[in-house]
Structure 1
Amino acid sequence: MTLPDLSQAVWRKSSRSSSQANCVEVGFAPGAVAVRDTKDRTGGTLAFPAASWAAFLNAQR
């Protein structure tokens, strides 16, 4: 599996995040979507193919 290049990802903090805890960001890069902890941006990042992320969101409706 090839890891996506997230160096140019555009990150957006979740509107459901609070200022004290449970903060997540979603990053959009070509062909991929990533999720990371806002409080620990250098920690682990989960990345998904864009099509898999879209399928996940559609399943939540």
Structure 2
Amino acid sequence: MSEGRSFYVLAYDISDDRRRLKLARLMESLGVRVQGSVFEAYLTARELEHLLRRCRKI
């Protein structure tokens, strides 16, 4: 059984340039940038959880 995808708007506010660039690259790998620090993506629950784990590490 395949997981359904849901639409998410992903946004962040990070002042550190290095961390912000890492997070932007991560978001770009999964979604589409619609504004400086705002992305849109269709993700499964598993993909979202994986993304959140990686964000916490950054």
Which structure dedicates a bigger proportion of its chain to strand? 1
Q: Structure 2-normalised TM-score? A: 0.32
- Structure with greater contact order relative to length (CA < 8 Å, sep ≥ 6): 2
Q: Structure 1-normalised TM-score? A: 0.31
Which structure dedicates a bigger proportion of its chain to helix? 2
